[in-house]
Structure 1
């Protein structure tokens, strides 16, 4: 085999990883500016400053790229939620407020991620990934937001016990409702400030799950 020499001290593997991250960042840039419907291989490659050859070096197609980008978002969000739950007061009210605050701030601080999330239902690949996330976050609420629960560092799914069916349904309704309320607020369709939207979602969440 022909040895691939480092270029300016960077190995071929590291260069591929850097290009992959540039493509993912460019994907978010294009979505943030123009939405998911205008996403093309050409637009992403141009924004990344790479040729289409390097796009296909890392991703089979746009669906593969979108799937990885939104999976990265959900993975990062989950890690932040679990870390925050570890550090917060163990009462239901504090845990619920922590989750809602973090969720709002997570998407508010990066409008690119927010737009991708808001437009996910209109794109089959993103919608399927969001449906999986709905199930995961439903399980998280079932495990963490009731009186005898204790925040844990480990993954909250699958639960160690079978959740109460009514509580699971309530959690699913909460997750779906919070998503719609949050996306409407991010679009500017809800006339509440950040503290008001967090407090109202928290109040509804606690009432539904208790």
Structure 2
């Protein structure tokens, strides 16, 4: 094996794979720190110590703290989207079954491991830039809801009205989860899922009926 190849591969693991593993370790550590202590504690030294990495590896993946928080939010959002897609594929084909499956799957991601819910809420409002990014993420999930609803009910209602209801639902869901995760809404998780499902079904079925 020549010198270049040796630099690329060590112990059967390529340099790219090692960088990916270090990035994952840093994000895992960031999840712990943000959930436990808040984003103010997310220092380079603290993050690298928690991840068990030399500080030089921090800058290999992230230029600053905002970049770490953005990557953490992206990872949680990707997990949410994947869980929801799987749940929808396996759900009953009526509106209530679809809504309940999607909502239950999404809330499970944020509450089975409560660090994810806490970290998402903390990181999403940590800086003005992250608040803007969070608004875009909410809009992205609203577009997903609008597309799923249009496909389920048929493209009957005007697009701006569908978009409005989807954004209203996702925005309300985020605010409700924020209050619930803070312990200020005395519902079990099952009750929370059921109540959110009722709202989604109510607004979806009502819209379909209006434009039938």
Tell me, yes or no, whether TM beats 0.5: yes
After TM superposition, the score normalised by the length of structure 2 is 0.85
Gaps of at least 5 residues in structure 2 are 207-212
Shifted more, 173-182 versus 134-143: the winner is 134-143
Q: What TM-score do you get using the length of structure 1 for normalisation?
A: 0.86
Shift, 1:138, TM fit = 0.9
1:65 matched to 2:60:
no
Q: Which residue of 1 aligns with 2:116?
A: 113
Instruction: State the alpha-carbon separation in 2 of the partners of residues 61 and 162 from structure 1.
Output: 44
Tell me whether 1:123 sits opposite 2:118 in the alignment.
no
Using the TM superposition, name which of 128-137 and 39-48 deviates more: 128-137
1:45-67, Cα deviation, whole Å (9 max, x unpaired) = 11111121010111111112211
Consecutive unaligned residues of structure 1, counting only runs of 5 or more, are 151-159
CA contact (8 A) 2:8 2:15 kept: yes
Match of 2:15 in 1: 12
How many angstroms does 1:197 deviate by? 0.7
| Structure 1 counterpart of 2:145, from 141, 150, 157 | 141
Match of 1:85 in 2: 88
Alignment RMSD: 2.3
Structure 2 residue 199 is matched with structure 1 residue 201 = no
| 2:37 paired with 1:34 | yes
Higher helix share: 2
Task: Indicate conservation of the 8 Å contact 1:96/1:145, yes or no.
Answer: no
Q: CA deviation at 1:208?
A: 2.5
Q: Is the Cα–Cα contact under 8 Å of residues 83 and 106 in structure 2 kept in the other structure?
A: no
Question: Secondary structure at the residue paired with 2:165?
Answer: helix
1:5 offset after TM fit, Å? 6.0
Deviation string 1:6-41 (CA, Å, 9 cap, x unpaired) is: 433333222222111111111111112101232211
Q: How many equivalent residue pairs? A: 201
Deviation at 1:145, TM superposition (A): 2.9
8 Å CA contact 1:92, 1:146 repeated in 2: no
